[in-house]
Amino acid sequence: MGRIASTCAICGRTSYDVHRCGICGATVCSRDFVSDIGVCTRCLRKGLWIGDRGPE
């Protein structure tokens, strides 16, 4: 079986190594993906990844 290339939703590059953002669901390349928290750089800039709350 061959690998399927996909286009990054942020930079438009075609890549075999793509990831799905955990917030917006966009398919992004590894350059635009933060693997530690599982979100794309667009959501990271907007601050949408902040979900862990401290003790209240």
Q: Which distant-in-sequence residues (6+ apart) come within 8 Å of 35 by Cβ?
A: 19
Kindly report the average pLDDT of the chain as a whole number: 86
12 pLDDT band (50/70/90 cuts)? Answer: very high
2 pLDDT band (50/70/90 cuts)? Answer: confident
pLDDT for 55 beyond 50: no
**Average pLDDT, integer, range 46-55:** 64
3-state class of 40 per DSSP? Answer: strand
pLDDT for 51 beyond 50: yes
* pLDDT at site 35: 92
Q: What are phi and psi of 6, to 5 degrees?
A: -135, 160
Q: Are 33 and 44 in contact (CB under 8 A)?
A: no
